């Protein structure tokens, strides 16, 4: 398939011609500013293009330059990221911007080792930023590229070394003149034509290079994985004092680190009912004895690793209570604008507390 330089060149130029004529008009494709391209690439990891567009535009209004991001408070950074998930991306982005401003005079390094040393720069981001922003022939493998090549090479059950071998192959195929367009072309092909379900092989520009298509097995590749998702039932307490609501900050390590949420937690098998579970959780987390009041409603949210059903109640603190250092009494406006929350908690603010605030 790619055994001669002529075939490799033919693949590369066919892909580039198709990409130039068919690429989607996306905001980050109108810039050569490395900071803006970096922003889009951080956001696009594990998030769909449709979701990223709005975030990208709001982000650049809020943090128009790398310097403005580096100087921002981490809480504002996480707030602007709220809803995109995988918050470590935002933390690393912020930290890396600070390093680039402090140690590199605001210029991103233009070689792989320099970028790899920055927080959040894995092989994908290194390749994307170097090829798209700096026109360097550095290859990338993401889920789309991997699927396209599993099909082109008709690999149903890839070995552990598949990605490594693919990087090597791509290094021999990547366009030296337009490496950024080549990389984006492959990802675009995976997103628009060689989709995971029902690939549009009839209009695929590279079908003559595709072994799976020739064998008629493209729909069998890749073999779908059985995903196990845990279902969690949880309870949440809305504790009010005057017109303010109690929230607390999650630990700085682990899942949804540093985000703010209402007191509450997982319902355990030992809990008699939801109210008892909430009473216990609030006592364990805040030290406050509570009586549980009205049921306010239910919110469901699917995170990547689990699905959660959040049962929301009013709760009243029974005795004098002094919030711990990771807790705050906040107004509804502050909840919406200042404190970054996990998506499930943000849904509670939007759907259940909306009438009060």
Q: Is 150 in the site for ligand SF4 (CB under 6 A)?
A: no
Tokens for 112, please give them: 């792989």
Q: Is 212 in the site for ligand SF4 (CB under 6 A)?
A: yes
Task: Find the part of the chain contacting ligand SF4 (CB under 6 A) among 21-29, 65-73, 199-207, 263-271.
Answer: 199-207
Q: Is 210 in the site for ligand SF4 (CB under 6 A)?
A: yes
Q: Using the rule CB under 6 A, which residue among 148, 236, 256, 315 binds ligand SF4?
A: 148
The residue among 200 and 289 lying less far from ligand SF4, judged by its C-beta, is 200
The residue among 201 and 232 lying less far from ligand SF4, judged by its C-beta, is 201
Q: Using the rule CB under 6 A, which residue among 125, 144, 184, 218 binds ligand SF4?
A: 218
Q: Using the rule CB under 6 A, which residue among 34, 109, 199, 342 binds ligand SF4?
A: 199
Stretch 250-279 residues interacting with ligand SF4 (CB under 6 A): none
Three-state SS sequence of the chain: CCCCHHHHHHHHHHHHHHHHHHCCCCHHHHCCCHHHHHHHHHHHCCCCHHHHHHHHHHHHHHCCCHHHHHHCCHHHHHHHHCCCCCCHHHHHHHHHHHHHHHHCCCCCCCCHHHHHCCCCCCHHHHHHHHHHHHCCCCCCCCHHHHHHHHHHCCCCCCCCCHHHHHHHHHHHHCCCCCHHHHHHHHHHHHHHCCCCCCCCHHHCCCHHHCHHHHHCCHHHCCCCCCCCCEEEEEEEEEEEECCEEEEEECCCCCCCCCCEECCEEECCCCCCCHHHHHHHHHHHHHCCCEEEEEEEEEEEEECCCEEEEEEEEEEEECCCCCCCCCEEEECHHHHHHCCCCCHHHHHHHHHHCCCCC
d(CA 352, CA 350): 6
Q: Using the rule CB under 6 A, which residue among 91, 94, 207, 279 binds ligand SF4?
A: 207
Q: Using the rule CB under 6 A, which residue among 118, 152, 153, 267 binds ligand SF4?
A: 152
Active-site residue flag, 41: yes
Q: Using the rule CB under 6 A, which residue among 84, 90, 170, 193 binds ligand SF4?
A: 193
Task: Find the part of the chain contacting ligand SF4 (CB under 6 A) among 17-25, 76-84, 148-156, 331-339.
Answer: 148-156
Among 41, 188, 261, 281, which one carries the catalytic annotation?
A: 41
Task: Find the part of the chain contacting ligand SF4 (CB under 6 A) among 2-10, 63-71, 210-218, 283-291.
Answer: 210-218
Q: Using the rule CB under 6 A, which residue among 19, 93, 213, 262 binds ligand SF4?
A: 213
Contact 79, 340 (CB under 8 A): yes
d(CA 40, CA 242): 42
CB of 173 to ligand SF4, least distance (A): 14
Number of residues that bind ligand SF4 (CB under 6 A): 14
Q: Using the rule CB under 6 A, which residue among 187, 194, 234, 317 binds ligand SF4?
A: 194
The residue among 220 and 302 lying less far from ligand SF4, judged by its C-beta, is 220
Q: Is 108 in the site for ligand SF4 (CB under 6 A)?
A: no
Judged by the rule CB under 6 A, the positions of this chain that interact with ligand SF4 are 148, 151-152, 193-194, 199, 201, 204, 206-207, 210, 212-213, 218
Q: Cite the active site residues.
A: 41
């Amino acid at each position: 398939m790619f055994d001669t330089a002529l075939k490799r060149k033919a693949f590369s130029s066919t892909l580039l011609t198709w990409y130039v004529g068919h690429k989607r008009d996306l905001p980050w494709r109108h810039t050569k500013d490395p900071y803006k391209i970096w922003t889009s690439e951080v956001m696009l990891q594990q998030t769909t293009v449709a979701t990223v567009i709005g975030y990208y535009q709001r982000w650049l209004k809020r943090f128009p330059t790398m310097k403005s991001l580096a100087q921002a408070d981490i809480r504002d950074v996480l707030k602007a990221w709220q809803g995109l998930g995988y918050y470590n991306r935002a933390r690393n982005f912020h930290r890396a911007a600070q390093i680039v401003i402090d140690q590199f005079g605001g210029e991103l390094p233009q070689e792989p080792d320099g970028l790899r040393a920055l927080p959040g720069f894995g092989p994908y981001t290194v390749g994307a930023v170097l090829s798209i922003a700096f026109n360097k022939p550095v290859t990338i493998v993401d889920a789309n590229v991997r699927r396209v090549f599993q099909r082109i090479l008709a690999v149903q059950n890839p070995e552990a070394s598949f990605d490594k071998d693919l990087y090597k192959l791509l290094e021999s195929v990547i366009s030296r003149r337009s490496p950024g367009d080549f990389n984006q072309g492959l990802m675009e092909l995976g997103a628009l034509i060689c989709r995971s379900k029902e690939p549009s092989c009839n209009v695929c520009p590279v079908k003559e290079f595709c072994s799976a298509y020739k064998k008629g097995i493209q729909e069998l590749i890749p073999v779908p994985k059985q995903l196990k998702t845990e279902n969690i039932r949880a309870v949440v307490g809305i504790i009010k004092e005057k017109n303010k609501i109690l929230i607390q900050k999650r630990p700085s390590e682990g899942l949804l680190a540093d985000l703010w949420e209402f007191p509450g937690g997982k319902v355990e098998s030992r809990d008699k009912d939801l109210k008892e579970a909430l009473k216990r959780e609030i006592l364990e987390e805040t030290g406050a004895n509570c009586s549980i009041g009205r049921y306010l409603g239910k919110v469901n949210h699917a995170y990547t690793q689990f699905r959660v059903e959040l049962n929301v109640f009013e709760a009243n603190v029974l005795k004098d209570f002094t919030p711990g250092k990771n807790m705050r009494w906040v107004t509804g406006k502050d909840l919406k604008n200042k404190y970054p929350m996990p998506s499930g908690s943000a849904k509670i603010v939007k759907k259940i507390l909306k009438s009060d605030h």
